[in-house]
């Protein structure tokens, strides 16, 4: 891939500490709620206490009488909706319209001089409801039982069927078949910074400036313009520092519309910051999948056919613009065979409405459940045939000579290292030794388990929760003094794009990192882009940076050749200086060139424009690029308490060219920690009346430092044929890890014949499943 670089790569591939860190470490970074604007009002919401109810009346007179209250809004005051496309479109109102459809749905918006007063006022608003029977079970909901969530549409809002040719015959004639049901409960991204938004008229231009921690600034601007019927060019979205997003902050939310509209109506700046309870009641939830699965296989464990009924509970509305239920199922159906060579597939998808919080994106979307299904299926087959779990994986893995490989769902795995990553992971883990240790441990009443998880990760797709822009843009300007400013339309929330994009540009331009600044998140400055989501920023943003950098470099080469009286091909760059290759004494600096380009314009080589500015858009050669890898976990389960300790954790990861291994490893660590949560801790629980019981961080358990294992990471590099050979990698670690940990728990409990098919696996589940005996049956 060396030819991808305009200069010899000094920066791409290097473990470079981030340029972002300084402001963050000094506490100087400004997150949404840190922004100070004079006369800023605060919004708070009266939220529905019922899962389903008719709104009879709203009495806000007492709220208006509280000093400091500036406005009380209902749907009548801001009759806007977030639209849904599709066969039976159901819009999501900004504030509840006649009915409430999930506990926590915003009914009334209060604006006051402080959040304290706004909360006082919310308590003073009296809403009368007639409760209705809630729809809470997704399988009953498919039959419109107990009723429809929306009168105007059946509960099933997305149904798809797919079958490979010859499926039935292959399935029927297979030597063995097993049936299993896999399930993940509701989980959520739970970024430590909650959502929030500020809308403030710009006093200089009269336009509306919107500050919001969104992953997709340009899309949010477009959405606000369209939904609130505003002129797009009179809106500016600025993304401040974002305290974690993980897909959840890609959506456009009703509260965003309410705040912008309130600022318009009141002609005063308005802010809303979610508190943690509101987060649980209004941030998109995720997962909530059921997979009814049948798998057919032969004596060696070779899988012949898979039949899967994929279901997801989409909640009360399809989250805008990305329905989590459709994402969870339709994408899972396309990669449910993972890195395994399975010829036949039959899938049926049903996504339903319910009286729960809308389902949206959370890192990995379809992936954690698909990996859990696919690895769980392989483990069950191994168990059934009394074969080693690793051996059955070897039997089924797509072989190197099969690549590029089209899976049974029609997805093309462009490249990968499936067998290699698996073998490396076994070696890294020392699989054989752990198996021996496991055996010894059992003899003294200790129960260890090994979990293996091979994953594929479709990245850089045209469409993701961030939007449907299959390209990314980058503007580069060499400033008159010779330093470089670049803008991208990305929406980072900790991924370090300011560093990685600068690394790409530095190699293209032959300048040092400290002379480049990468900006993002301001729609007034950044070229229109798709934002951050779906593991697209590295491959697409990196591609855009590469292309823009190269374009600029070509122009700089012409300058340098002209000034040094040399051929363009002979120009080389280092540290911001161009020289004639091999003759360091003859050089010009970027500063010299910039001076001519902006100030001494008569000296510009003929054919070149004035100035040094380019904007480039990069579209990858393929609609999707697959990363892959293997996770291996060793756990110990205490059968008396059900407590699980992760003893060892190995990751072999292949995301093509690494721009910055340090950042890649950080992403992997974080995803594995979230996988510990997904497998063992995190669950959003509703009661029978549709109340969300887990609305605090005492109930929704995030992994803490003592619970996350030390991870050992090995990188493999199978480049993509896109720019720089980079593939996306933000999600693979959370795609693979729940399956690895759950597999390890199941392996530990294999003496009891217990196998969990539902995530997360809680201590109580474990103890209960073992019956009254904490010692394994002999």
Residues 68-127 that bind another protein (CB under 8 A): 115-116, 119-120, 123
Contact, 218 vs 473, CB < 8 A?
Answer: no
By C-beta, is 418 or 649 nearer to another protein?
649
Candidates 244, 605, 611, 751: give the one binding another protein (CB under 8 A). 244
Query: Within 10 Å of residue 71's Cβ, how many Cβ atoms?
Result: 20
Q: Does 412 bind another protein (CB under 8 A)?
A: no
Under rule CB under 8 A, residue 173 binds another protein: no
The size of the interface with another protein (CB under 8 A), counted in residues, is 80
Measured from the CB atom, is 308 or 665 closer to another protein?
665
Per DSSP, the three-state class of 743 is helix
User: Least distance (Å) from another protein to the CB of residue 507?
Assistant: 20
Which listed residue (167, 649, 686, 756) binds another protein by CB under 8 A? Answer: 649
Q: Residues 161, 202, 275, 514: which binds another protein (CB under 8 A)?
A: 275
Q: Is 685 in the site for another protein (CB under 8 A)?
A: no
Options 237-245, 369-377, 394-402, 422-430: segment touching another protein (CB under 8 A) = 237-245
Q: Which two tokens stand for residue 402?
A: 């099969």
Q: Report the site for another protein in 6-25 (rule: CB under 8 A).
A: 17-18, 20-22, 24-25
Phi-psi region of 748 (alpha: psi -120 to 50; beta: other; left: phi over 0): alpha
Residues whose CB falls within 8 Å of the CB of residue 78, separated by 6 or more in sequence, listed in order: 94, 95, 109, 257, 258, 261, 262, 265
Residue 40 class from Cβ within 10 Å (0-12 exposed, 13-18 middle, 19+ buried)? middle
Residue 777 binds another protein, judged by CB under 8 A:
no
Minimum separation from the CB atom of position 608 to another protein (A)? 39
Whether 347 and 271 have beta carbons less than 8 Å apart is answered as: no
Q: Angle at CA 17, nearest 5°, toward 15 and 18?
A: 125
As given in the structure block, the two tokens for residue 134 are 């809630």
- Cβ distance to another protein smaller for residue 262 or 646: 646
Q: At what angle do helices 542-564 and 590-598 cross, to 10 degrees?
A: 80
693 is an interface residue for another protein by CB under 8 A: no
Kindly identify the residues of this chain, within the stretch 709-748, that bind another protein according to CB under 8 A. 709-711
DSSP state of 684: B
Question: Minimum distance from CB of 534 to another protein (Å)?
Answer: 18
Nearer to another protein, 462 or 633 (CB): 633
Residue with smaller CB distance to another protein, 407 or 695: 695
Token reading at 523 = 């729609």
Report, in Å, the least distance between residue 243 CB and another protein: 3
Residue 52, CB-side half-sphere exposure with 13 Å CA sphere = 21
Q: Looking at 76, 152, 444, 705, which residue binds another protein (CB under 8 A)?
A: 705
Q: What is the DSSP string of 34-68?
A: G---TT-EEEEEEE-SSSSEEEEEEE-HHHHTSTT
DSSP state of 759: E
CB of 36 to another protein, least distance (A): 8
Q: Report how far residue 124's alpha carbon sits from residue 116's, in angstroms, rounded to the nearest whole number.
A: 13
Within 31-70, the residues that bind another protein by CB under 8 A are 31, 33-34, 36
Closer of 193 and 288 to another protein (Cβ): 193
Contact (Cβ atoms closer than 8 angstroms) between residue 99 and residue 52:
yes
Task: Please identify which residue in 174, 180, 238, 647 interacts with another protein, judged by CB under 8 A.
Answer: 647
- DSSP state letters, 105-122: -EEEEEEESSHHHHHHHH
Residue 11 DSSP one-character state: S
CB of 124 to another protein, least distance (A): 11
User: Which range in 190-198, 262-270, 540-548, 721-729 contacts another protein by CB under 8 A?
Assistant: 190-198
Of 480, 666, 719, 751, the one binding another protein (CB under 8 A) is: 666
Among 97, 159, 176, 276, binds another protein (CB under 8 A): 276
Q: How far is the CB of 643 from another protein (least distance, A)?
A: 7
Shortest distance (Å) from residue 587 CB to another protein? 32
Nearest to 212 by CA among 254, 262, 273: 273
Based on CB atoms, which residue is closest to another protein, 138 or 754?
754
**Residue 284 touches another protein, criterion: CB under 8 A:** no
Of 491, 469, 618, 626, give the one whose Cα is nearest residue 543: 618
Closest CB 660 distance from another protein, rounded Å? 9
Q: How many CB atoms lie within 10 A of CB 130?
A: 11
Residues in the chain: 778
Of 241, 289, 498, 616, which lies in the binding site for another protein, with binding defined by CB under 8 A? Answer: 241
DSSP assignment of 82-106, as one string? E---SSS--PEESS--SEE-STT-E
Site for another protein (CB under 8 A): which residue of 295, 663, 692, 736? 663
Which tokens belong to 171? Answer: 């399935």
What is the bridge-based pairing of β-strands 405-406 and 412-413?
antiparallel
DSSP state for residue 228 in the 8-state scheme: T
What is d(CA 121, CA 110) in angstroms, rounded to the nearest whole number? 7
What ranges in 616-758 are assigned the alpha helix state H? 661-676, 732-748
Q: Residue 253 Cβ, how far from another protein at the closest point, in Å? A: 19
Work out whether 604 is an interface residue with another protein (CB under 8 A).
no
- How far is it, in rounded angstroms, from Cα 191 to Cα 249? 9
Q: Is 535 in the site for another protein (CB under 8 A)?
A: no
Tokens of 399: 């072989």
Please state the closest distance from residue 514 (CB atom) to another protein, in A. Answer: 14
Shortest reach from residue 672's CB to another protein, in Å = 6
Between strands 577-580 and 583-589, the pairing is antiparallel
Largest Cα span, the chain: 91
The residues in 565-594 that bind another protein, with binding defined as CB under 8 A, are none
Choosing from 105, 132, 193, 472, the residue that interacts with another protein (CB under 8 A) is: 193
Which one of residues 65, 130, 205, 704 is an interface residue with another protein (CB under 8 A)?
A: 704
Candidates 8, 30, 161, 439; binder of another protein (CB under 8 A) is 30
Q: Of 20 and 616, which has the nearer Cβ to another protein?
A: 20
636 interacts with another protein by CB under 8 A: no
Residue 385 vs 707, nearer CB to another protein? 707
Among 27, 87, 203, 607, binds another protein (CB under 8 A): 27
- The distance of closest approach from Cβ of residue 355 to another protein in the complex, given in angstroms and rounded to an integer, is 24
Residues 651, 672 contacting (CB under 8 angstroms): yes
Q: Which of 386, 698, 777, 778 binds another protein (CB under 8 A)?
A: 698
Q: Which residues of 49-68 are buried (b: 16+ CB within 10 A; e: fewer)?
A: ebbbbebeebebeebeebee
Sign of the CA dihedral with 212 first, then 217, 219, and 222 last? positive
Q: How far is the CB of 426 from another protein (least distance, A)?
A: 19
Binding of another protein at residue 130 (CB under 8 A)? Answer: no
Is residue 121 within 8 Å of residue 110, measured between CB atoms? yes
Can residue 205 be called a binding residue for another protein (CB under 8 A)? no
One of 360, 416, 670, 732 touching another protein (CB under 8 A)? 670
Q: x/- contact string, 494-523, with another protein (CB under 8 A)?
A: xxx---------------------------
Selected binder of another protein within 612, 681, 692, 754 (CB under 8 A): 681
Interaction with another protein in 311-350: which residues (CB under 8 A)?
A: none
**Is 465 exposed, middle or buried, given 0-12, 13-18 or 19+ CB atoms closer than 10 A?**
buried
Select from 103-111, 146-154, 219-227, 695-703 the region that touches another protein (CB under 8 A): 695-703
């Amino acid at each position: 891939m060396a030819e991808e670089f305009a200069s010899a790569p000094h920066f791409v591939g290097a473990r470079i500490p981030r340029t972002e860190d300084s402001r963050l470490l000094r506490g100087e970074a400004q997150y949404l709620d840190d922004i100070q604007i004079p006369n800023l009002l605060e919004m708070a919401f009266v939220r529905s206490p019922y899962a389903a109810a008719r709104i009879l009346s709203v009495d806000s007179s007492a709220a208006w009488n509280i000093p400091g209250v500036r406005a009380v809004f209902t749907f009548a005051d801001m009759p806007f909706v977030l639209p849904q496309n599709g066969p039976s479109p159901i819009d999501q109102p900004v504030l509840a319209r006649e009915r409430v459809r999930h506990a926590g749905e915003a009914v009334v918006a209060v604006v006051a001089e402080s959040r304290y007063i706004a909360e006082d006022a919310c308590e003073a608003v009296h809403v009368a409801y007639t409760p209705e029977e809630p729809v809470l079970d997704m399988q009953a909901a498919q039959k419109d039982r107990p009723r429809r969530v929306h009168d105007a549409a059946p509960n099933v809002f997305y149904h798809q069927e797919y079958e490979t040719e010859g499926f039935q015959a292959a399935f029927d004639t297979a030597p063995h078949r097993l049936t299993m049901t896999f399930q993940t409960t509701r989980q959520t991204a739970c970024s430590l910074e909650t959502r929030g938004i500020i809308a403030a008229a710009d006093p200089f231009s009269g336009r509306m400036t919107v500050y919001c921690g969104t992953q997709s600034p340009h899309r949010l601007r477009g959405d606000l313009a369209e939904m609130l019927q505003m002129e797009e060019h009179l809106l500016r979205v600025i993304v401040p520092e974002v305290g974690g997003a993980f897909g959840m902050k890609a959506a456009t939310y009703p509260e965003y519309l309410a705040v912008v509209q309130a600022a318009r109506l009141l002609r005063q700046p308005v802010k809303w910051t979610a508190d943690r309870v509101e987060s649980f009641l209004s941030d998109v939830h995720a997962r909530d999948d059921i997979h009814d699965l049948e798998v057919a296989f032969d004596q060696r464990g070779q899988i012949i056919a898979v039949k899967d009924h994929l279901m997801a509970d989409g909640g009360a509305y399809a989250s805008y613009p990305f329905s989590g239920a459709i994402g969870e199922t339709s994408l899972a159906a396309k990669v449910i065979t993972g890195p395994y060579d399975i010829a036949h597939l039959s899938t049926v998808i049903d996504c339903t409405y319910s009286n729960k919080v809308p389902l949206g994106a959370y890192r990995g979307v379809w992936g954690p459940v698909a990996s859990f299904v696919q690895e769980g299926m392989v483990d069950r087959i191994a168990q059934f045939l009394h074969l080693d779990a690793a051996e059955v994986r070897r039997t089924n893995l797509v072989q190197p000579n099969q690549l590029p490989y089209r899976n049974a769902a029609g997805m093309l795995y462009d490249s990968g290292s499936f067998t290699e990553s698996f073998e490396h992971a076994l070696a890294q883990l020392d699989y054989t030794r752990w198996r021996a240790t496991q055996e010894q441990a059992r003899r003294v009443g200790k129960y260890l388990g090994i979990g293996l998880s091979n994953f594929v990760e479709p990245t850089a797709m045209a469409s993701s929760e961030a939007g449907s822009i299959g390209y990314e843009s980058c503007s580069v300007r060499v400033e008159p003094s010779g330093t470089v400013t670049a803008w991208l339309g990305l929406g980072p929330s900790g991924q370090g794009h300011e560093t990685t994009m600068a690394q790409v540009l530095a190699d293209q331009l032959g300048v040092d990192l400290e002379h480049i600044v990468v900006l993002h998140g301001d729609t007034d400055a950044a070229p229109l882009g798709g934002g951050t989501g779906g593991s697209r920023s590295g491959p697409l943003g990196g591609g855009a940076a590469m292309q823009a950098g190269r374009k600029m470099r070509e122009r700089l080469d012409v300058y340098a050749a002209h000034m040094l009286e040399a051929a363009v091909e002979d120009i080389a760059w280092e540290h911001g200086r161009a020289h004639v290759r091999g003759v360091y004494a003859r050089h010009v600096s970027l500063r010299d060139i910039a001076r001519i380009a902006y100030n001494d314009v008569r000296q510009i080589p003929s054919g070149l424009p004035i100035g040094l500015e380019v904007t480039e858009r990069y579209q990858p050669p393929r609609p999707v690029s697959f990363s892959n890898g293997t996770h291996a976990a060793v756990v110990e389960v205490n059968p008396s308490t059900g407590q699980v300790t992760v003893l060892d954790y190995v990751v072999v990861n292949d995301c093509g060219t690494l721009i910055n291994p340090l950042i890649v490893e950080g992403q992997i660590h974080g995803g594995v920690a979230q996988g510990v949560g997904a497998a063992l801790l995190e669950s959003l629980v509703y009661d029978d009346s549709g109340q969300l019981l887990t609305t605090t961080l005492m109930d929704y358990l995030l992994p803490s430092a003592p619970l996350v294992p030390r991870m050992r990471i090995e990188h493999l590099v199978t480049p993509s044929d896109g720019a720089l050979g980079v593939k996306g990698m933000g999600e693979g670690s959370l795609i693979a890890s729940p399956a690895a940990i759950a597999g390890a728990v199941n392996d530990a409990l294999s003496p009891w014949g217990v196998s969990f098919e539902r995530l997360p696996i809680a201590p109580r589940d474990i103890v209960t499943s073992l019956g009254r005996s904490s010692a394994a049956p002999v």
